[in-house]
């Protein structure tokens, strides 16, 4: 578990609790205004466990073993650092492992490569016609990440789909 503490400058805009759907208990009919609050986001890992089957985890393990000596299509490490991008409005996470796909899609295909039917046909046609390009190494499975960021006078936590490459293949 991690705890991030951020200090805000004196001229920072106050975030009214009601403006983002946060409600505090009323005291004798009056809404409590500008009370200090803390938002805690924890991840016990159970979400990923419930979402993924053993087979998918096995494929991810196989895909996560990047071998720079191989030229075939595979998942390669890519860390996105929001601070280095200058995206200072993102509160957390400060970065994440996005991964990327890189490599060749040779024909005929080995059993290690994941390939679409279209890519297979494109490769077959390319072997007899020089004007048909080879298929490209591309993500075949993506997963979401959750970001917490500042917008106007508030903080938003949102899940963004298709942000992290889980598997690569030829398409």
Q: What are phi and psi of 26, to 5 degrees?
A: -80, 145
Radius of gyration of the chain (CA): 23
Instruction: Count structural domains, the chain.
Output: 1
Q: What is the average pLDDT value for the chain, to the nearest integer? A: 76
Say yes or no to pLDDT of 80 above 70: yes
> What's the rounded mean pLDDT across residues 110-122?
85
Residue with more model confidence, 99 or 107: 99
On whether residue 35 sits in a domain, the answer given is yes
Query: Is 97 contained in some domain?
Result: yes
Host domain of residue 156? 17-105+136-170
What is the C-alpha separation between 49 and 53, in angstroms, rounded? 8
Where is mean pLDDT largest: 9-23, 40-54, 90-104?
90-104
* Residue 44 within any structural domain of the chain: yes
> Which phi and psi angles does 143 have, rounded to 5°?
-130, 165
Q: What confidence score (pLDDT) does residue 49 get?
A: 45
Residue 23 pLDDT greater than 90, yes or no: no
Q: Does 115 map to a domain? A: no
Question: Is there a domain that residue 11 lies in?
Answer: no
- Output the domain CATH number for residue 21: 2.10.90.10
Strands (E), 47-153: 74-76, 79-81, 90-92, 95-97, 100-102, 137-151
């Amino acid at each position: 578990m991690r705890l991030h503490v951020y200090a805000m400058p004196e001229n920072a805009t106050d975030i009214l609790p009601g403006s983002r759907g946060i409600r505090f208990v009323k005291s004798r009919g009056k809404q409590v205004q500008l009370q200090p609050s803390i938002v805690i986001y924890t991840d016990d890992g159970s979400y990923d466990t419930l979402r993924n089957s053993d087979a998918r985890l096995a494929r991810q393990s196989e895909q996560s073993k990047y071998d720079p000596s191989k030229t075939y299509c595979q998942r390669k490490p890519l860390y996105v650092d929001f601070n280095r991008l200058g995206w200072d409005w993102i509160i957390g996470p400060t970065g994440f492992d996005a991964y990327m796909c890189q490599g060749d899609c040779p024909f005929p295909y080995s059993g290690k490569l994941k390939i679409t039917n279209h890519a297979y046909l494109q490769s077959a046609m390319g072997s007899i016609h020089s004007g048909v390009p080879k298929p490209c190494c591309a993500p075949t499975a993506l997963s979401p990440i959750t970001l917490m960021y500042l917008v106007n006078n508030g903080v938003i936590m949102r899940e963004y789909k298709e942000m992290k490459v889980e598997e690569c293949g030829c398409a």
